[in-house]
Amino acid sequence: MTETSTDSPSDGQNYQTLNENTTRAEIFPAKQHKEEWWEEAEHEGSSLSRYLYDLIQEARMYRDSGAPFIQTQDQTVKQLQNKIDDLQSQLEEARQGGGGGRTHLSIDDLVTRILNEQYQSLDELIERISASDEVANHLQGQIENRLYSLAEKGRVEYQRGHGWRLKEEN
């Protein structure tokens, strides 16, 4: 067994016993950062060590997937402004189309696009329709809108790296 100091906001020497395949890795952050991390870990119901380990693993996952996760505030602001511009354009197009801002998917259109000269089972048709980009994009938009609406009402919450969940009622 290996001994290591427990995570605490102070630098006291409290020890606990850890598993054999656990090792010590030290970092030397600014005191303010350590305090912030400690508070976040407590909020998560986790030890500081576990909290930092999870954050590191999450960052590695993002890096390994090729997703950029370190951005400057200017880059983030620019991306958000582009997203707003795109959404405003989509809204304007939808209003001009007479749909009142709502997207409508016609089952008839979807089925006739998927059908061809070959016989297909109902399961095959459903699989092909649900795999189409048009359906996926429509569902994603509808689900996102609903999640944001529920978040505004305080019924769901989002946590970076974990996703969405129903909010605990007190």
pLDDT tens digits for range 34-69: 999 999 999 889 899 889 988 888 888 877 776 665
Reduced to 3 states (helix: H, G, I; strand: E, B; else coil), residue 165 is: strand
Q: Domain coordinates of the chain in residue numbers?
A: 2-64
Percent of the chain whose pLDDT exceeds 70: 77
Residue 52, classified by CB atoms within 10 Å of its CB into exposed (0-12), middle (13-18) or buried (19+), is: buried
| 12-16, 145-149, 156-160: least confidently modelled range | 12-16
DSSP helix, strand, coil percent of the chain (3-state; round to 5): 55, 10, 35
Distance CA 82, CA 104 (A): 25
> Is pLDDT of 169 > 60?
yes
Tokens 């090792």 correspond to what residue? 23
pLDDT at 13: 52
Between these two residues, 30 and 108, which has the higher pLDDT value?
30
Terminal CA-to-CA distance of the chain, rounded, Å? 41
User: At residue 117, does pLDDT exceed 60?
Assistant: yes
- Count of Cβ atoms closer than 10 Å to residue 90 Cβ: 13
CB 25 within 8 A of CB 39: no
Q: Are 4 and 18 in contact (CB under 8 A)?
A: yes
In contact, 156 and 147? CB cutoff 8 Å: yes
Q: How confident is the model at residue 2 (pLDDT cuts 50, 70, 90)?
A: very low
Q: Looking at per-residue confidence, does 104 or 7 come out higher?
A: 104
pLDDT surpasses 90 at 76: no
Please tell me which residue, 133 or 94, carries the higher pLDDT value: 133
DSSP label at 73? H
